[in-house]
Amino acid sequence: MSAATTSNTKQLTVYVRLLGEGTTVFRPTLGESTGPQTVRLLPTTDYDPEDEQWEFPPETLVRVEARLLEGCSALVATAAA
């Protein structure tokens, strides 16, 4: 999990599940922390809604929880907040 500070807004790496992939796939993106376990998702620089269907699209406020992804702890978007 990486974090950076930009003008008092904490940015975190958040993983969002991709839909319609035939298997479970997560896409990393940045999100702005808005409160305890809540994040506003930001688009990746190459975000294309015609190419990838995110479970929660950019700008969605989501609840996150720490989960193991490929053996590493990561923040995963789990529900719209």
Decide: 31 and 63 in contact? Cβ < 8 Å: no
Domain coordinates in residue numbering, the chain: 3-80
- Identify which of 10, 52, 78, 64 has the alpha carbon closest to the alpha carbon of residue 2: 10
- Cα–Cα distance measured from residue 74 to residue 45, given in angstroms and rounded to the nearest whole number: 20
The type of residue at 42 is L
In this predicted structure, the answer to whether residue 7 has a pLDDT above a threshold of 70 is no
Residue 8 DSSP class: T
pLDDT, tens only, 9-54: 789 999 999 999 999 999 999 999 999 999 999 999 999 999 999 9
What is the model's pTM?
A: 0.86
